[in-house]
Chain A
Amino acid sequence: MTVFKHEMKQGKISLIIWTGAIAFLFLTCVLIYPEMRGSVDELNEMFASMGNFTQAFGMDKVNIGEFMGFYAVECGEILGLGGGIFAAMLGVASLSKEERGRTAEFLLTHPVSRVSVAVQKLLACVVQIIIMNAAIFAVTAVSAIAIGEEPDFKILALFHLAYVFLQIELAAVTFGISAFLRGGAIGIGIGAAALMYFLSLVSNMVESAEFLKYITPFGYTDGAQIVSDGALEWKLIALGAVYSAAAITCGLIKYTKKDIA
């Protein structure tokens, strides 16, 4: 597990910064909620009259005057984009950074198989994602209790779980891409996350584009949907797992065969 430990150490600072930044936004969001609630009628009216955008952000499904409704819409966007970009950057840099920094030559001339290197790196991505989400969940739970709300912890947990799946899927897909790259990968990571995010917005807004939810992992992280259903869309998550497995397999096959620059 040397490579895994090494990856965790290398990613430590970036993990702390991203977790800190997202947790801070969550904290802010939760703490301003009591003030928002005061003017909730106006808000509801305003949000309900934004046409397609109301649907895009799922605000037609929940009451933003309730804590969970507010949380699902506001914090869902932050965790979706912030966490998604973090996960995609982790995944896409995972293998390609070694060739870009020319450290692949060092790493791969040690008696470690390439599959083992790749799997340990992937595992490090997944563990970092779990650590980040656990920390954010803890900050949310504590700050919600601090403002005197009693959120439904089952739904809150499901909501966060959906985003863990989303991030793992993004990391897995970009990890697969990573095996094909030699450098300049970060842009592709951010691009992939942003693309998936916008696909989900389109899928929510335009009825004929609803099929897109079968492609983008943001299809199963519709916070408003999770809150109103009280359940996750396991079918979509399973589909995401299939995409992830396919991407990882392609990545591993490529990585064991490729010439290392």
Chain B
Amino acid sequence: MEAIKVTSLTKYYGKARGVIDVDLAVNEGDFFGFIGPNGAGKSTTIRTALGLIKPTSGSVSVLGKEPFKDRKAMLSDVGYIPSEAMFYGGMRVSDCIKLSADLRGMDCAEEAKKLCERLSLDTTKKINQLSLGNRKKVAIVCAMQHKPKLYVLDEPTSGLDPLMQKEFFSLLEERNKEGATIFLSSHILSEVERHCKKAAIIREGRIAACDSVDKLGQTNVKRVMLRGVEEIPAMDGIRDMKSEDNSVSFLYNGDVKSLLEMIISLPVADITVAQPDLDEIFMHYYQEGEDR
């Protein structure tokens, strides 16, 4: 069964675009990355899945339930970390975590204590004394203390220091091994590349690509670097060209033979052809959109 199934989801806020015709399938047990720059529609998709907003058209199903109608049953198996974690200012951290457990009708004190220790979160502080990173930790504890089946994480690492990010991801890996599904939205490619098995790329409200992280990396695009030349003739399929220090580097997506013919005519001293990293592929998906 799919943990999250989004079918031709479209959402407009008045006239402003949220997402257009998004299809997405996250299987149970997946560690799924959802990548896109700010304003691409990541949060809109997530907020629809959680039943906070209603789709303009299309449908969403989470753990086999329809979020807007069957919200209560659906949310009891979901842990959510919002991108901007906000809590009631005057409350203590411990009260906030307790409130979250009470709203679920559960006693999660033991698990909460473990999580707070691992994230070194001081539970005696008041919420409005906390930094962004520490507020994020409160959100992490609230999302994880009840051990849900599905984790929906909207840019969860923003504000966390590298050490905490590491601890956070090892927590996620543990929960994923126990069978939980993880849906991680992020604009940081390296964390998706490192932790996720599958990923979807969203740009300007539409899904640009969706596949396993390995396959997303396997495109025909190559990073080519030529030394000994300062300039190369214009050619189809070349982009992101940089020239410096008597060398030229560019991304190439096209017929290999015509590339070689072009190179032969140049006084090349050395040549490197490499797989681009996910960062470059990401840019590639983006620019493809802009070129259209």
Contacts and interface: CB of A to CB of B under 8 A. Distances in A.
Interface of A: 2-3, 6, 10, 101-114, 257, 259-260
B134 to A, nearest CB: 16
A138 B118 CA distance: 52
Given A2-B103, A260-B52, A111 B75 contact: yes
13 contacts: A2-B102, A101-B89, A104-B52, A106-B85, A111-B74, A111-B76, A111-B103, A111-B104, A111-B105, A113-B72, A114-B71, A257-B54, A259-B54
A105 B82 contact: yes
B103 A102 contact: no
A103 B52 contact: no
A103 B73 contact: no
B61 interface: no
A101 B88 contact: yes
A124 to B, nearest CB: 14
Contacts of B84: 102
Given A2-B102, A2-B103, A6-B99, A109 B50 contact: yes
A101 B86 contact: yes
Given A109-B78, A110-B75, A260-B52, A103 B103 contact: no
A113 B68 CA distance: 10
Interface string B60-91: 00000000000111111010101011111110
A10 B104 contact: no
Nearest to A101: B86
Contact of A109 (B52, B89, B102): B52
A112 B75 CA distance: 8
A52 B259 CA distance: 96
B73 to A, nearest CB: 7
Contacts of B78: 109
A94 to B, nearest CB: 14
A112 B103 contact: yes
Given A109-B78, A111-B75, A3 B53 contact: no
Interface string B9-27: 0000100000000000000
Nearest to B84: A102
A84 B84 CA distance: 36
A124 B50 CA distance: 26
A112 B72 contact: yes
Given A2-B99, A2-B102, A111-B73, A106 B87 contact: yes
Contacts of A104: 52
B185 interface: no
Given A106-B82, A109-B52, 16 more contacts: A2-B99, A103-B87, A105-B52, A105-B82, A106-B86, A106-B142, A109-B50, A109-B82, A110-B103, A110-B104, A111-B76, A111-B103, A112-B72, A113-B71, A259-B52, A259-B54
Nearest to A259: B53
Contacts of A260: 47, 52-53
A110 B87 CA distance: 13
A108 B80 CA distance: 11
A5 B257 CA distance: 73
A240 to B, nearest CB: 32
A234 B84 CA distance: 50
B45 interface: no
Closest 4 pairs between A and B when the two form their complex, measured CB to CB:
A111-B76, A110-B103, A102-B86, A259-B53
B100 A110 contact: yes
A85 B80 CA distance: 37
B138 to A, nearest CB: 10
A250 B123 CA distance: 40
Nearest to B90: A10
Contacts of B47: 260
Contacts of A107: 103
Nearest to A257: B54
Nearest to B73: A111
B80 A109 contact: yes
B157 to A, nearest CB: 18
A39 to B, nearest CB: 48
B88 A103 contact: yes
A2 B51 CA distance: 21
Nearest to A10: B88
A108 B71 CA distance: 9
A10 B99 CA distance: 12
